[in-house]
Amino acid sequence: MFGVRCFWILSVALCICMLHWGQAHSANAVAPKGKNAATSATLSQKHKPTKPSQKHAPSVVSPKRKPAATASAKSKKRAPLPPASADLPQSGIASWVGKSFEGKPVANPGELHVRESFTAAHRALPFNIILKVTDLNNGHSVLVRVNDRGPYIKGRVIDLAKAAAEYLGFFDKGLTKVRLELAGNDKDPAQRYYIRMRPSAGPGKTGLLRGFGPFDKFDEAASVFIKLYKSSPDAELLAVREAS
């Protein structure tokens, strides 16, 4: 009787031990023990996929586009100028060269623009041609030497230096209607220039008061004339081709 009880007690104890051993073995198989368990947990945490943060998400920048040409910009394109003509006489609008061009090179090699001069820009006439420019609004005339190219605005035939525009009397207006006529050629060795005073009005005053010249170069005569005419409105600059 005692032996049977011992057998049953031992059987129950054995079953309980087997049950505990099986649970412990299953836990060890799922989670590693000690340092290995901690390392495994750290690695699993590092390699856990995460969604990109909204703050650090790369932004896609669209390439800049060139602004499309507007209708107003297209309308500002100037129409082609008519072919330049070297035929004389010519008529058209005269303008004058602005202050910003003072001292800058002109199209005639080796020259600079001088405001206080009787020079001019024309699109086709040869350099160093001497022109007689007549203001059709007041009848005043001035001699100028062509040393530059322009103007490049439709309807305009000549750009004058400041001194020439002042002499004609349209400096303040900016534009005037003129006629261009050939007066000489500064490269012609027979070309000479004179400054004379027009006869004073009144009875008995018909002779010349004073005269200067001859000058071999136009710019020399023009430089003296520019200083003279402001104090002597009757002064006149002439171009004469002397017979050889």
At residue 36, does pLDDT exceed 90? no
Average confidence (pLDDT) over 186-192: 96
Give the separation between CA 194 and CA 230, rounded to whole angstroms: 17
Q: What's the pLDDT band for 17 if we cut at 50, 70, 90?
A: low
Q: What percent of the chain has pLDDT over 90?
A: 50
Tell me how far apart the alpha carbons of residues 179 and 237 are, in angstroms, rounded to a whole number. Answer: 18
| Separation of alpha carbons 184 and 30, rounded Å | 115
Residue 86 confidence (pLDDT) above 60: yes
pLDDT at 101 over 80: yes
Q: Categorize the per-residue pLDDT at 71 as very low, low, confident or very high, splitting at 50, 70 and 90.
A: very low
Q: How far is it, in rounded angstroms, from Cα 221 to Cα 236?
A: 11
Distance, CA of 14 to CA of 156 (rounded, Å): 124
Per-residue model confidence (pLDDT) at position 81: 77
Long-range contacts of 17-24 (CB under 8 A, 24+ apart): none
pLDDT of residue 121: 97
- Cα–Cα distance for residue pair 8/14, rounded to 1 Å: 10
Digit-coded pLDDT (tens) for 124-164: 999 999 999 999 999 999 999 999 999 999 889 999 999 99
- Tens of pLDDT, residue by residue over 47-70, are 444 554 444 444 444 445 544 444
| Residue 163 pLDDT | 95
Strands (E), the chain: 90-96, 119-121, 129-135, 141-148, 156-160, 175-185, 191-197, 211-215, 235-241
Q: What is the mean pLDDT of residues 2-25?
A: 59
Give the pLDDT confidence score for residue 5 in this predicted structure: 60
Helix, strand, coil % over all residues of the chain, rounded to 5: 30, 25, 45
Query: What size, in residues, is the chain?
Result: 244
Q: What is the pLDDT of residue 15?
A: 60
Rg (Cα) of the chain, in Å, rounded?
51
Q: What sign does the CA torsion over 120, 125, 127, 129 have?
A: negative
Pairing of strands 235-241, 191-197: antiparallel
Domains in the chain, CATH or no CATH each: 90-185 (2.40.40.10), 191-241 (no CATH)
Q: How many CB atoms lie within 10 A of CB 177?
A: 14
* pLDDT, tens digit (0-9, with 9 covering 90-100), for 212-222: 889 999 999 99
On the question of pLDDT at 37 being above 80, the answer is: no
